[in-house]
Amino acid sequence: MKKKTEAAAVAQLRMGNTHPFGGLRGYVPLGGGEERIYRELRSAVPVVDAAIGKLVRLCGGFDVRGRAEKPLREFLRTVPCGRGQQGVDAFLAAYLDSLLTYGRAVGELVVAGERLRAVCWGDVTALEVREGANALETELWGPDERGMMKKLPWQELLLFTTWNPEPEHPYGVGLLRGMPFLADILMKIYNTVGVNWERAGNVRYSVICRPEENLDPAVARERGSQIAAEWARAMEDGKNGTVRDFVAVGDVEIKVIGGESPILDSEVPVRQILEQIVAKTGLPPFLLGLSWATTERMSAQQADLLTSELWAIRRTVEPVIRKICRTFLILEGLDPAVEIVWDDISLQDMAETARAELYRAQARNMEMR
């Protein structure tokens, strides 16, 4: 008897397109402009890219509690996520990265043979988000073979999360909103600094020869040509590694073009712009490598504020994690009751935390006497 083989897993969000310019097929007019700006912003301003990466890592991991927690833990540790990644932590990192960058993230549960085979994340910029029959339903649309947008068939297998959604449309608001204007100014400053230093390192000279009074114009032109030729020869010898003196007769003045103009100080405007960008991320400056104070450290107030931001991100993605766990347990015929237990967020110095615990214990001991 021939053994029955299981059907191959089919993904909706990842269509093995090998065309080198496959983006032209899925082109949607007036779509994706804002997303491209955010990608360029992360590439142009390393502080922004580092801030998003640190927020993703600071969110930490989680554990599960339930009657079937042992097989669920093994599944979450070994589930394929595509792109050579394995484990739900890899999926969650990419999911959070998209959520913070674009304000929304999308994923997919790949089911085959009545079992959950993989959990993949998708490119949210290639999809359209539309409201369903009522305000509580959201539909995801993707391009077909002809580039036309169509409703994806298995909506129940898709994972979708928005960050700070607005009431007028189903799209979320990313962390980078408001930064393109500041980043444009910052790039102009950096580009100008680079151009100025390139000119300062590649000096241009102005050679002025004042001829004697009542000198014949033809003789003056000839003398000027000789001085120009000798100056050019001296400069060429300098490029070749040999030193040659420039000797001229008469009143000759040599100046560096632009040498009198000082280079503008960019420290103050750059810091003002970076302060606005760092304030939007919610991270202390020293975590991003910005040492604006000699004794800068994370205070208790900063740690509490950052902890609240991280817990807000966790609460946003927790329904997606719970859906992944429940889908696996139901398809495996196990009890779907599950509890998500996040790892503790530790941002303060361990010694300071232990000292605070000691003080609290001493205070309770004194109250009991």
Q: Vertex 59, ends 58 and 62: CA angle to 5°?
A: 125
The DSSP-derived string for 292-308 is -STT----HHHHHHHHH
Lowest mean pLDDT among 230-234, 241-245, 276-280, 286-290: 241-245
In a domain, 280, yes or no: no
Lowest mean pLDDT among 67-76, 134-143, 256-265, 277-286: 256-265
Same domain, yes or no: 171 and 197: no
Q: Is the pLDDT of residue 185 over 70?
A: yes
pLDDT bucket at 16, cuts 50 / 70 / 90:
low
Lowest mean pLDDT among 103-107, 168-172, 342-346: 168-172
Lowest mean pLDDT among 43-57, 151-165, 210-224: 210-224
Q: What is the pLDDT of residue 22?
A: 43
Q: What is the pLDDT of residue 55?
A: 92
Q: What is the pLDDT of residue 351?
A: 56
Distance CA 25, CA 147 (A): 5
Distance CA 28, CA 126 (A): 9
The DSSP-derived string for 324-341 is HHHHHHHHTTS----EEE
Q: Is the pLDDT of residue 17 over 70?
A: no
Same domain, yes or no: 210 and 82: no
Residue 90 or 138, more confident: 90
202: Cβ–Cβ under 8 A, 6 or more apart, which residues? none
347: Cβ–Cβ under 8 A, 6 or more apart, which residues? 58, 298, 303, 306, 307
In a domain, 288, yes or no: no
Type and span of the H or E element at 73: helix 69-78
Same domain, yes or no: 168 and 199: no
Expressed as residue numbers, the domain containing 197 is 182-256
In a domain, 350, yes or no: yes
Highest mean pLDDT among 47-56, 135-144, 252-261: 47-56
Residue 217 or 328, more confident: 328
Q: Vertex 99, ends 97 and 102: CA angle to 5°?
A: 100
CB-CB contact of 264 with 190 (8 Å):
no
Q: What is the pLDDT of residue 26?
A: 40
- Give the residue among 189, 163, 173 at the shortest CA–CA distance from 274: 189
Distance CA 165, CA 171 (A): 6
pLDDT bucket at 334, cuts 50 / 70 / 90:
very high
Each as own residue / partner, the long-range contacts of residues 294-298 (CB below 8 Å, 24 or more positions apart, any chain) are: 298/347, 298/348
Q: What is the pLDDT of residue 294?
A: 58
Beta partners for residue 304, in sequence order: none
Same domain, yes or no: 93 and 154: yes
Lowest mean pLDDT among 16-25, 57-66, 156-165, 350-359: 16-25
Q: What is the pLDDT of residue 8?
A: 56
In a domain, 6, yes or no: no
CB-CB contact of 140 with 129 (8 Å):
yes
Same domain, yes or no: 133 and 244: no
Same domain, yes or no: 151 and 67: yes
The number of beta carbons lying within 10 Å of the beta carbon of residue 321 is 22
Each as own residue / partner, the long-range contacts of residues 280-289 (CB below 8 Å, 24 or more positions apart, any chain) are: 280/175, 280/176, 280/178, 280/179, 281/48, 281/51, 281/52, 281/55, 281/175, 282/55, 282/306, 282/309, 283/51, 283/54, 283/55, 287/54, 288/47, 288/50, 288/51, 288/54, 289/47, 289/50
Same domain, yes or no: 311 and 168: yes
In a domain, 300, yes or no: yes
Sign of the CA dihedral with 303 first, then 304, 306, and 307 last: positive
Same domain, yes or no: 242 and 228: yes
Distance CA 355, CA 335 (A): 43
Q: Which of 256, 282, 309 is the last residue of a domain?
A: 256
Q: What is the pLDDT of residue 246?
A: 67
Each as own residue / partner, the long-range contacts of residues 212-216 (CB below 8 Å, 24 or more positions apart, any chain) are: 212/250
Q: Which of 256, 287, 321 is the last residue of a domain?
A: 256
Same domain, yes or no: 191 and 137: no
85: Cβ–Cβ under 8 A, 6 or more apart, which residues? 91, 94
Q: What is the pLDDT of residue 31?
A: 41
pLDDT bucket at 359, cuts 50 / 70 / 90:
confident
Q: Is the pLDDT of residue 278 over 90?
A: no
Lowest mean pLDDT among 50-54, 146-150, 157-161, 349-353: 349-353
